[in-house]
Structure 1
Amino acid sequence: MASYILRRLLQSALILLGITLVTFVLLYLVPADPARQIAGRSATAETVANIRAQLGLDQPFFVQYWRYLTGLLQGDLGRSYLQRTEVSELVASRLPATLLLMAGAIACELALGLTIGIIAALKRNSRLDNGLMIFSFISISAPQFVVGILLLYVFAVKLGWFPIGGYGTFAHLVLPAVTLGFLGGGWYSRMMRSSMIDVLGQDFVRTARANGLSKWRIVLRHVLPNAILPIIAMIGIDIGLFMSGIVVVESVFGWPGIGQLAWQAIQRVDIPIIMGVTLVSATAIVLGNLLADLTAPLIDPRIKLK
Structure 2
Amino acid sequence: MAYVARRLLQSLLILVGISLVTFVLLYLVPADPARQIAGRSATAQTVENIREQLGLNLPFYQQYLRYLGDLLQGNLGRSYLQKTEVAELIWSRLPASLLLMAGAIACELAIGLTMGAIAALRRGTTVDNSLMVVSFVGVSAPQFVIGILLLYVFAVRLEWFPIGGYGTFAHLVLPSVTLGFLGAGWYSRMMRSSLIDVLGQDYIRTARAKGLKRAQILFVHAMPNAILPIIAMIGIDIGLFMSGIVVVESVFGWPGIGQLAWQAIQRIDIPIIMGVTMVSAFAIVIGNLLADLIAPLVDPRIKLR
TM-score band w.r.t. shorter chain? over 0.9
Q: Give the Cα separation in 1 of the matches to 2:98 and 2:244.
A: 10
8 Å contact from structure 1 (residues 79, 87) kept in 2: yes
8 Å contact from structure 1 (residues 102, 242) kept in 2: yes
8 Å contact from structure 2 (residues 179, 241) kept in 1: no
Which amino acid in structure 2 is aligned with residue 260 of structure 1?
Answer: Q
Q: What does 1:48-87 correspond to in 2, within 5 Å?
A: 48-87=47-86
Other-structure match for 2:297: 298
> 2:151 aligned with 1:162, yes or no?
no
Q: SS at 1:80's partner residue?
A: coil
8 Å contact from structure 1 (residues 152, 164) kept in 2: yes
Other-structure match for 1:218: 217
Deviates more, 1:231-240 or 1:278-287: 231-240
Q: Give the Cα separation in 2 of the matches to 1:258 and 1:181.
A: 17
Other-structure match for 1:27: 26
Q: Give the Cα separation in 1 of the matches to 2:68 and 2:33.
A: 20
State the aligned residue count. 305
TM-score by length of 1: 0.94
Q: What does 1:214-253 correspond to in 2, within 5 Å?
A: 214-243=213-242, 246-253=245-252
Q: Give the Cα separation in 2 of the matches to 1:111 and 1:99.
A: 18
Other-structure match for 2:110: 111
> 2:119 aligned with 1:120, yes or no?
yes
What are the Cα deviations for residues 71-105 of structure 1, in whole angstroms up to 9, with x where unaligned? 12222111111111111101100100000000000
Q: Give the Cα separation in 2 of the matches to 1:162 and 1:62.
A: 51
Q: Give the Cα separation in 2 of the matches to 1:21 and 1:138.
A: 36
How many Å apart are 1:260 and its aligned residue? 1.2
> 2:288 aligned with 1:289, yes or no?
yes
8 Å contact from structure 1 (residues 195, 227) kept in 2: yes
What are the Cα deviations for residues 122-173 of structure 1, in whole angstroms up to 9, with x where unaligned? 1111111011111111122222222212221222222222211111111110
How many Å apart are 1:240 and its aligned residue? 3.4
8 Å contact from structure 2 (residues 36, 80) kept in 1: no
Other-structure match for 1:145: 144
Q: Give the Cα separation in 1 of the matches to 2:88 and 2:59.
A: 28
8 Å contact from structure 2 (residues 100, 176) kept in 1: yes
Q: Give the Cα separation in 1 of the matches to 2:55 and 2:124.
A: 64
Which amino acid in structure 2 is aligned with residue 90 of structure 1?
Answer: L
Q: Give the Cα separation in 1 of the matches to 2:64 and 2:49.
A: 20
Q: Give the Cα separation in 1 of the matches to 2:43 and 2:200.
A: 73
Which amino acid in structure 1 is aligned with residue 179 of structure 2?
Answer: L
How many Å apart are 1:287 and its aligned residue? 0.7
Other-structure match for 2:87: 88
Q: Give the Cα separation in 1 of the matches to 2:28 and 2:60.
A: 10
Deviates more, 1:71-80 or 1:124-133: 71-80
8 Å contact from structure 1 (residues 244, 278) kept in 2: no
8 Å contact from structure 2 (residues 93, 257) kept in 1: yes
TM-score by length of 2: 0.95
> 2:204 aligned with 1:201, yes or no?
no
Say what the alpha-carbon RMSD is for the aligned residues: 1.6
Unpaired stretches in structure 1, ≥5 consecutive residues: none
Other-structure match for 1:10: 9
